[in-house]
Structure 1
Amino acid sequence: MPSSVSNRFAMLTVLANLLIIGGCANTGGIKPQTHGTDASALDAGAAIRAANADAQWPAADWWRAYNDPQLDEWIAAAQAGNPTLAVAQARVREALSMAGVARSALAPQVNGNLSIQREHWPDNVFYGPGPLANQNTWNNTGTIGLSYHLDLWGKDRNAAERALDAAHASAADARTAQLELEANVVRAYVGLSRDYALLDIAKDTLEQQEKLAALARHRLAGGIGTQLDVSQAETPLPEYERQVDSIQESLALGRNQLAALAGKGPGAGDSITRPALALSIASGLPSALPAELIGHRPDVVAARWTVAAQARGLDVAKADFYPDINLLASIGGYAAMGPLFNFLRSASGSWSAGPALSLPIFDGGRLRSQYGAAAAGYDQAVEQYNQTIVNALKDIADQVVTMRSLETQINDARRSVAASRRNFDLSEEGYRRGLTDYVNVLIAQTQLLAAQQGLARIQAEQLMAHASLETALGGGLDDPANGPKETEALPGHGSRSAVTLLIRNPDVTPVVPPAAAGR
């Protein structure tokens, strides 16, 4: 009885000393020096405040608003075959596997060891005579060991959560890559549509110029024209032919780009027909606070998870200051002589059990340096998050400004085309009747060509701007709820009891494996 009381007293003494040592851990005044920016506190700017606030959040298939089945097919092909997107998916799987490695430290570890050796003992002056001289024996060992880290300071738990936070960030990065890929396909496809429109304009202009040249030659033959008129009419022809060739080259390059985005060879782009884009929705923003506007972006969600991971890394570094206790136990059999299975007999067995304590006493400042590096890493993640939300708000504001400007520019460009067309028709008719000089026709045609090309380019820019606005708002691939809670992004708040999934809506994106489950 006295021995039992003494053992209990010894255990309580050890635990008390551990608590005292833990309470005396000194980080040398090292701590994070920055804090996250509250997106709601940022001034969204006049452009966002003045934007129409009646739009819906982008859907995951936001590009279907262009009403072009061929575009839908190419985006599906890109999602399935793009190598860069496949790399992003592989990184998510890698991060999930690493999270599993870190989480395994929370469970008891059981390991077995078996060694079976046949040994011949020497018979010489070094060994000397004896019962084993010149004999063959079995020297066998079989053990099973168990170890369990008590994790009194949450080091293993925080390390597991840090790895899972990194997996969350990788999943959000993969959604960012998917969104960028979708936007690039749309932009390339809109560029193809623009080049078709420019090709029509160039061919029409070339045809008009050929008719004017024929008219000039006819007038010269009839004695009412001059050689100068013929020369002036024929001079633009090579340039207009060059423009047709240049646009056809751009069309071929655009097809190659779409094929590459889909992970296919250039030949796959030969089947692309003329786009038939018809945007069916008006531009605008959802009615939301700035924090919610940017919270749907995958890059913002990824930045938040990175901050949470660095916060858990800070907790891991702090736990290194405290003592570690491992519970160890082993059982096994040992035999240096006798039959093959002699080590399995009860007489050859042994066991051991007990705690193992490790305590940092003097490390030359290593632990404080590690903690300082972790604190600096946390500050970097926070500032990168701050920069991400600043860039996100700027991106949204830029797209709103661009969309509003393009609406005005399109109206101006249409008026310019109408005026240039009227001027060209009048000058052409006057030249036919011999009332005006051909120079007037040439000037009017140049103005009409520039106006038509300008309108085609502005219309394409408007289609591209819609894609940019959809991606700036997150493209329907993420949600603020997919990110960590505010307390989870702070050091010392690493314990989580709720279950968090990497993908709360698995139908949104095929990027993350279905088995991506979190805590």
Structure 2
Amino acid sequence: MKTINSFIKLGTCKPQLAFSLTLLALAGCSVAPLPQLNPTVPEAWRSSRSYNEPPRPELTQWWQAFNDPELNALVSRALQKNLNVAEANERLRATRILSKHAQSPHLPTLGIKTHDAVSPDTSTSYFLIGFDAQWELPLFGAKQSADRLANGHKALVKADLQAVLVSLVAEVSSRWVELRAAQQLETTLSTIQKIQREKLELLLIREHLNLTSSSDIASARAELARSEMALTAPRQTINRTTQQLAVLVAQSEPEATWLQRGPQPKLGNWQLSSLPADLLRTRPEINSAEAQVLIAAGELGMSRADIYPHISLGTSLQWSLNIASNRKRTRTGDSILSAGPGISIPLFDWGQRVANAHAKDHQMQAAVLAYRQTVLQGVAEAEIALGNLELLRLHERSSLQALAESQKRLDALKRRASLGLLSELDMDNARIDKLQIQQQVANANAERSIAYIALYKALGGATLPTAPLKDAY
């Protein structure tokens, strides 16, 4: 309170100026300080390789790394039409409208009241009308704390919107990758089923010529039945993912184009190399925790301001009109004007207010600890996702090597078959082996794509809708 003490020594100041400066000093007094949020993050990712020029898609367009125009269009449609995004936008609009009036409770109020008054001897009757105006001054940090509360709630709702966007983009991308992977699996299993049927027909011919046993026929039939059973899983996935995509774009039914088989999204040789502090700033959970700290600081400031006396300025105007009189001489009307400051001092509940301020202080400290925990959890999730992505990259590379060796083996068997040194049954088995390894490559690619999506979801990567968000007023 050095400002007030230095002002009191200036005896030459006018009383009005002195009163105004005192109120300004009290208005900023006792504001709860904002804590320093300095989260501990590692200097670099442990699971990231070093690149001279690492390919890094933008956080707002990370799904374009798949180079899939259909996925890009689907994400854009979801951002524009998803109902959860629309709901979050409406909540943000409502919060923005209310935040503009954060200082409205500290504005002057005006009251009007009327009533009839009859004199005790019933000789006259007056009509009374009164105007009362009062302004409780936002002192002791109440004004700044109200702004913090409004800004904190607005930041919290914006973080909720960002969380919806991040989850939506990740969900659309994941369902699309699962859909294309299931369609690829269905194609491979259908081809295997066709080969198994041809193999059974060939064995039946050989059985008719007494060149094979009944056990070989039974084994071939069992393999054909298993291949037919295996088709159930990808078809269930196709049905589920298409319906989920329809919900994400606010449609009741999937589009027919989704059921048409297309190429599986491929990530390529993508790799991340950047500092956590540079990427985690967009994580909605961290933004939400930071908003909670701001809200807690605002509530602490309001509770501290509630400890001190409440000072107000007020004025009152009372006017009377004689409407009925049995006297010969009586006044027809009169008015009374009064104005002055008022003060409300907490006495008997002062201890409760102090306890409330102490409790709010602990709640703010809890919000700071929750923020730090959220940062640590975000770093851990990103590190885990990045590690999984690197491991699955190595897994995909190994599956590609296995596919290359399988192709070499199949080419060698084809040369032997052309020389009449190999039967068609052996060739069918080799083709099935190659198709199975080829499907393993497709599965590895899909798993790596899902890990890539999980990484950017952990980093809070998303984009705002193309249409700008505007307030309703």
Q: TM-score range by the shorter chain?
A: 0.7 to 0.9
Q: 328, 353, 374: which one pairs with 2:360?
A: 374
Distance 1:60 1:472 in 2: 14
Aligned length: 452
- Residue 411 of structure 1: CA displacement? 1.7
Aligned pairs for 1:127-146 within 5 A? 130-131=122-123, 139=127, 141=129, 143=131, 145-146=132-133
For residue 46 of structure 1, give the secondary structure of its aligned residue in structure 2: coil
Residue identity over aligned pairs, in percent, reads: 23
Contact 2:178 2:446 in 1 (8 A): yes
CA gap of 1:118–1:155, structure 2 versus 1, over 3 A, is: closer
Distance 1:305 1:202 in 2: 51
For residue 337 of structure 1, give the secondary structure of its aligned residue in structure 2: strand
Q: 244, 249, 255: which one pairs with 1:262?
A: 249
- Residue 89 of structure 1: CA displacement? 2.0
Query: Does structure 1 residue 200 correspond to structure 2 residue 183?
Result: no
Partner of 1:80: 80
Aligned pairs for 1:223-302 within 5 A? 223-265=210-252, 267-272=253-258, 273-276=260-263, 278-279=265-266, 282-285=269-272, 287=274, 289-302=275-288
Contact 2:80 2:466 in 1 (8 A): no
CA gap of 1:380–1:98, structure 2 versus 1, over 3 A, is: farther
- Residue 441 of structure 1: CA displacement? 7.9
Partner of 2:108: 109
Partner of 1:168: 155
Q: 325, 340, 354: which one pairs with 2:311?
A: 325
Aligned pairs for 1:117-516 within 5 A? 130-131=122-123, 139=127, 141=129, 143=131, 145-265=132-252, 267-272=253-258, 273-276=260-263, 278-279=265-266, 282-285=269-272, 287=274, 289-335=275-321, 337-338=323-324, 347-363=333-349, 365-420=351-406, 447-448=433-434, 450-475=436-461, 477=463, 508-509=464-465, 513-515=469-471
- Residue 153 of structure 1: CA displacement? 1.0
Q: What whole-Å deviation, never above 9, does each CA across 1:59-118 have from its counterpart, x for those lacking one? A: 423323333333233223322332322332233223223323422134x32424255x79
Paired amino acid for 2:108: Q
Distance 1:441 1:57 in 2: 44
Q: What whole-Å deviation, never above 9, does each CA across 1:242-277 have from its counterpart, x for those lacking one? A: 222331221011100101112221x23444243445
Q: What whole-Å deviation, never above 9, does each CA across 1:147-205 have from its counterpart, x for those lacking one? A: 32322312132122222222112112211211111111000011001001101110010
Paired amino acid for 1:205: I
Partner of 1:488: none
TM-score calculated relative to the size of structure 1: 0.73
Paired amino acid for 2:311: I
Distance 1:423 1:231 in 2: 28
For residue 333 of structure 1, give the secondary structure of its aligned residue in structure 2: strand
Contact 1:403 1:466 in 2 (8 A): yes
Query: Does structure 1 residue 39 correspond to structure 2 residue 46?
Result: no
CA gap of 1:244–1:105, structure 2 versus 1, over 3 A, is: same
- How much is the aligned-residue C-alpha RMSD, in angstroms? 4.3
Give the gaps of 5 or more residues in structure 2. 1-10, 326-330
Paired amino acid for 1:466: Y
Q: What whole-Å deviation, never above 9, does each CA across 1:441-498 have from its counterpart, x for those lacking one? A: 8976775454333221111122222323333333254xxxxxxxxxxxxxxxxxxxxx
Paired amino acid for 1:376: H
- Residue 286 of structure 1: CA displacement? 5.2
Contact 1:322 1:360 in 2 (8 A): yes
CA gap of 1:97–1:113, structure 2 versus 1, over 3 A, is: same
Q: What whole-Å deviation, never above 9, does each CA across 1:347-397 have from its counterpart, x for those lacking one? A: 343332111111222326312321132122212221221122112222222
For residue 47 of structure 2, give the secondary structure of its aligned residue in structure 1: helix
- Identify which range, 351-360 or 450-459, moves more after superposition: 450-459
Contact 1:36 1:383 in 2 (8 A): no
CA gap of 1:193–1:473, structure 2 versus 1, over 3 A, is: same
